[in-house]
Structure 1
Amino acid sequence: MKQAFIHSFLVSIVPLLLGLGFLSSCENDKNKKLRIGFSQCVSNDAWRRTMHEEMYRELSFYPDLSLEIKDAGGNSQIQIQQIREFQKQGVDLLIVSPNESEPISAIVEEIFHSGTPVIIVDRKINSNLYSAYVGGDNYEIGITAGQYINNLLRGKGSILEIWGLRGSSPARDRHRGLLKALEGTEIEIVSQIEGEWEKDTARNGLKAHLLQNEYPEFDLVFGHNDVMTIAANEVCRELGIFDKIFVGVDALPGPFGGIQAIADGVLHATFFYPTGGDKAIEIAHKILSGEDVEKENILQTAAVDLSNIRIMKQQTDRIISQQLNIVRQKEMIDSQLEIYQSQRGLLIVLAITLFVAIVSLAYIFKSLKDKQEINQELRQKNEEVILQQQKAMEYAKKAEEATRYKLEFFTNISHEFRTPLTLIQAPVEDLIQNKEAMAFKNDLLLIRKNTYRLLRLVNQLMDFRKIDNNKMMVKASSQALVPFLEEIMSVFQKTASDNQIHFRLMAENPNIQLWFDPVMMDKVIFNLLSNSFKFTPKKGFIHIHIDEDPLNHEILIRVEDNGPGMMHEDVSHVFDRFYQGNPGNRKQGTGLGLALSKELLELQHASIQVKSEPGEKTVFEIRLKMGNRHFEAGQLLTNSMDNQVLEHDIFFPDQDTLTPKDGKKDASLQHCILLIEDDREIRKYLKSKLEPYYKVIEAEDPDIAFSIATDELPDLITCDLMFQNGNGLDLIKKIKAEPLTEAIPIIVISAKTTPEDQLLGIKTGIDDYITKPFSISFVLERIKTLLANRSQLKKHFLHELPIDTSSSTAHSIDKKFVTVFTLLIEENLHNPHFGVNEICREIGLSRGQLYRKTKSVLGYSVNDYINKVRLKKAKYLLLQENESISDISHKVGFSTSAYFSTVFKNAFGITPSEYREGNLKDKN
């Protein structure tokens, strides 16, 4: 009965609640606003503030739009970052007013390609990949201003021009339009001041210009905007300079705008340059509504002077008043909407509360029934889990069997390795003793040592097989522990001395007698010491402590070192077979030694533990029982170690490499190679093979290697990918990102052999990838080829100029100075004002030092070298680019095309146009 009642109630109430929810959802969808992001280049001038006001007033007609403005403060890099922030926020449309055309073009193209509509306002970019442009035709404004000035000066006079930001399209276009309009007249631009659109910048620049002892006389000041022109009027009045004509651009309304300045007699004329803020919002709404829009929306200009100032001022004041009324009406409407929204929200909350209460009541009744169904499902799940456990046990047995077969296979292969390795080792021993083979002794010692390493791995695999088959028999005898350990330590003394490692044994009781299997214990201690020496850095320490634990009737042997330590995850698996720890660690092993040591100790009823702290130390602790009661009778021997070959008996310590008889390097070696490798033996081997042909610098740490690369600037780098204290790919990326070293060829010599590793290396920017083991002749040939190719490229390098090599200092040319000096010139090639002062400031030399340095190293004066680089680049652009000669002259840093043509003809005997036409004819 109750269930029927609840069902009936829900049938009647749920549709009502769903209806309220649907209406709420519809209302929310209706109120959801489309987001517009506006990246403004700068906001601290009246023209930009007027643009913002127009945008917000226009937004009052579109309640479905919202606007967020980010101000870049005149910094192009900040503007790029802010545009990316808008992209991450997922704005529906982006409006951009570029600070500078060139830097902003790429990010605008990227946003446009991603599918987000982009509207460009005021300043154009160097691309047509945008949805719409809103702004005045700055070139046309420049022409209109030039025509007005021509009429005003009656075709004769001089102009002082105050520039906006030179990298922005409005400044360039207004200047070009002005020049176009003044062609054929006797009006000349005698001075140019950098105003960067700012009143204070223009004021300071003009004041410094006028305070000079002599400056070109001018009749008229033309500023790229009104605020800079107003500042110019103020400076002239302060300095007592009158009777000058002041013409600006913008014609903004308001008490501080250009229109008011005309009325006050500060400006003689200004040219209407609308902000387009309202037009940008109107177009944005059309785009977001799916309507078609014009791509180029050019706003018209007009001259404003005393002839029309009264009408213009009345109209602008009336428009401002009407816009303020619109804003007040919108605020009142928004207030009423807020009241409505709060009341509607309260109703929805009450409805939802009622619905939740009803659902909760229904849920209580339904839970009783669901509980029975859940219990039934749990019983079924339990049966499935039991079945899965049985299958898992079967799979585990199969995996264990597969592991056994795998180990048996490796053991059999290892057994086959012993014969050829023995046949290698014996002849090598004979050759080492042969005086006639003395020239190859270093290589023979290296062969002998690595043959022993392979034999040791083979023995370890065979020991595992014996342990698994229960054929490893314990043969314990009573031994003097301290002498036994000291004898094993003796084979490591030379390695410790070479690396300045503090290596010692510390025992409170030097006369301890202990029962153990000497062959097994020799392998255990030898493995632990080999592991410690592998990871302990130079000037570190390795200590062996022997302590007695009478309460537990045990002897403790602790092997402690201050190597890099292990992560906690590695510590828990360090005794697992074939476990190699962190794959990024350069000095990996086979994962056999420690696992074998643990099993050999367990056969003697002993134990081993490890404690390690990353970056601090590692301690291996062995616990051996005193006495011999824990051994079986058949495991005890009365003799000691007679006729037993121990692990350390066949160990060959590092040998000193032989030095060449003359001990001198060839002074004529011209190429320098940086060898980056942290494996000492491979590094020594490579160095010995490269030194007869090249000057070789070694590095085993990535940080040190980078410092050497930037200081020495080698001709080629060989680099491993895996290091104890870093990653080779990260080092290569760092070298390629540094301007001083980005052009140095890099050869990777690595044990990573997979195609994925090689492809990743090539993508990083390396020039060749050689896998280990490698042929030294192949390495030498690749180095020779790369250096030859690089030398060939240098002959055709665009900006390289001949250096005077006849002087005695030719062989001591400061390569780093030349690289920095040339790079600095290339980066500033487009700047006509770049010269000695800027170079001195960047490099940190005085003018005299710089002149002497460039003359002795390059054979040119500073200005001659810059001009030669500019002309070299110009010749390249004339043949490779389709741009006009005027544009090319600006690209290579000449202020005018006429001056460029004169310098070009003086240098090469022909004009730029003759040079381009002559080469094109030769190609045809």
Structure 2
Amino acid sequence: MKFTPWPFLLLLTFSWLVSSCQNESPEKELVIGFSQCTTYDDWRKAMDQEMRRELSFHENVHFKFRDASGNNDLQIQQIRELVKSGLDLLIVSPNEAEPITPVVEEVFESGIPVILLDRKTNSNLYTAFVGADNYQIGQMAAQYIVRYVNGKGHIIEIKGLSGSTPFIERHQGFKQTIQQFPDIQVSPVEGDWGVKRDGKAAFIQLLEKDQDYDMVFAHNDILAIAAQKVQAESYPSSNLKIMGVDGLPGPRGGIQYVSDGLLHATILYPTGGDKAIQLAMDILNNRSFQKENILKTTVIDSSNVDVMKNYTHEIRSMESDMDRMEQKIQEQLEIFTTQRNLLYTLSLLFVLMVLSLGFVLKLLVDRRKIDRRLKQRNEEILKQKDQILAISEEANRANQERITFFTNISHEFRTPLTLIQAPIEELLDKNGDTKAKKEVLMIKKNISRLLRLVNQLMDFRKIDHAKMPVKAAEQELIPFLEGIMSAFEPLAKKRKMTFKLLADKRNIQLWFDPGMLDKVLFNLLSNAFKYTEPKGTVLVHVQEDELQNEVLIKVEDNGSGMSPEEVEHIFDRFYQGRGASQKMGTGLGLALSKELVELHHGQIQVESSPGEKTCFAIRLKKGKTHFSEDEMVKEVIHKNLTEEVFYQEEPLLFEMDKGKTETSQNSILIIEDDPELRNYFQQKLAANYQVFKAESITTGLALAQENIPDLITCDLMLEDGDGMEIIRELKSDLRTSHIPIIVISAKSSIEDRLEGIRQGIDDYITKPFSFQLLLERIRMLLINREKLRAHFLHELPVDPEITDPSTLEKKFLKTFTSLIEENIVNPKFGANELSQALGLSRSQLYRKVKAILGYSVNDYINKVRIKKAKALLKEEDKTIAEIAGLIGFSSSTYFSTVFKNQLGVSPSEFRENHKN
């Protein structure tokens, strides 16, 4: 009998596998302790949940948690107990900084890593910190409030726990920022509302003394919502806005409070629980880490609360899915453990052979599947690569065709523009009507802008095709700069601006192309004057850098400045910053300037601070070794280099026709940020309408709510935002929802038109347009509004059930007439009571009712009462005096007078005429 070793070998293999599984050394267990100051609020609970969720990814970590319940002594005791029990790392969120500092230093010096979470101590003896920059949060709150109150107002600050570093730093950041605005007054209130309630009493005392506060800044959302409850319960009519900090998701979180309108705004304050555990694992596994880990934050208000709600909802949904996945994994692990134990009880040889064969077959099948998937994936990647290359080539070809098209059309523009410019200049030289001359000057100014844009487009084409070579010659730099600056001196003098050339020395010889450098400096100076207010400063510095063998030319102004994002993209083609649209920029000038400076083998850079200054610096190399022979000429070309007369970027003011007076009581509000177009509208419309003007969203809303015009024209590209924003505000405001709106904009896409229709606009006119067309559309809209008013008045809408509240106007009329019906027996009920019930001022109610119904409020109330009286006279046998009392007339004589004035007959005659 031949001996076969296979069963014996398989038995040994199986025994070795079992032994390996049973004796497998587990991963080293790590112990992390966490001392939490309190778990009283939802924010702390969210932090704890994040930590435990992150710990689920680390099975070898034993987590010890202690809650100090806001007690300093208890937290010190708990930290010592945690250290005594044995820790690899300690995480601490101090209740208050000063009392907890010694014990944290003691743990750190003992060699145990310490992570401070959310709050700090008064010492640098810790391993790392995770949390938000509370000083920055205070600054953000102050900056937001300053913008909201426009730099002037009265603010209440509700502080947090006085000994904790977040509230200390928030107060410092808030205080130091708000102090920069002397017109803002801050009244502080302590935040001990939960225990002593002295702070709450102080807050109530402030509101009792003076309810005219603009905003409350509470150091967390708990205090903020508590302040809101005090306001809602005690001072429901107050318009006080409340801002908090935390921005938690969920039904009791700051994001929901902002969405519900209970809070005006909140600042997102991340808990950082998961970050703390990740940082702890980096430290314990000897991976690199940062000591200061600052979490990002942002302000949440009505402008972004819906986005944040959706975002946090998705995150919470994902976290819930992760929890379920963890539970499933645990269940699978338990099943696996059970199956593994059952496996040990099966027949050693037979089961091992079957499982081994099955395992090998599975590996082969899986391997083949993986190979097929990889092959298919590689084919897809190659196909996508080919598609991307084809798309890229198509895009490049389309871009070249676009550039060629713009170049060709630019050439075509020059001839008709020249033919227009020549006769315009002749008209300007002739004496004539001052008003007509100003209109001709406006035409010439805009022709000049078009020519400048055409020239820039053609220059870009030449640069892209290397057909714009440098023709550099050696010449004196200072006289060249003075010649360019002379074109700007009249404007500087008119605006009373400081405009100087500052140079280390006058005799500076430099090789450059005067035509190119003229365009660069002319563009930089034009921008400096555009964005600098009257009485500002524009300086041109010229310095020699001997070490770098360069000449530095700087154009500096103290104008509006730019944000870091604008600075990053300012030299990109067609890029326009936030203020560019109102200054009529194209986004070409600075990009062209950069190209021209680089053709000189130089550099152009910019530094800017918003609201303070902007400085463009040009660096050009001295000598001529950096130029090739083809880039140099021997003789300087003497000619007038500046291609156009510099027109000041100021509005042309049009005089009103003295012979014309208002022929209509209708009023129109013009919302347009271009001053020339705004003044032109006023000049054309003032003959027939009362005209109000606004250049921004803020001003437009204020004028609309104050004056209640009969019609509004609005641009979509305004200096402080999108015109759709003001349309939404007007159409959702009860005071202004009835006013027809005409959009006049250069945005002509179908998407823009559809969006306007969805927002409720009445007409959409694209620029350029016929002014006669605009006048006719205004006239027809006002006529249609009169027809609508007549429709409302055909039958007085005294029955609330017959009014369809599908629009805000009809909903207003339903509420308006319902209030009159409910109070018809009250002789003292009038315009004052109606305005209070509807939440409008007396003048706003009068204008709105007059615009919709054509009557004053009291006249309309009398008409409703007389209509009710007609029904009672027909149907009831009551006396005239009784009927007068039923419809709110205190005197039957006055009732008879009003009745006869409206219907031409007395009440008794009316009853007699309508008997059966």
TM-score (norm 2): 0.49
Which structure has the larger Rg? 1
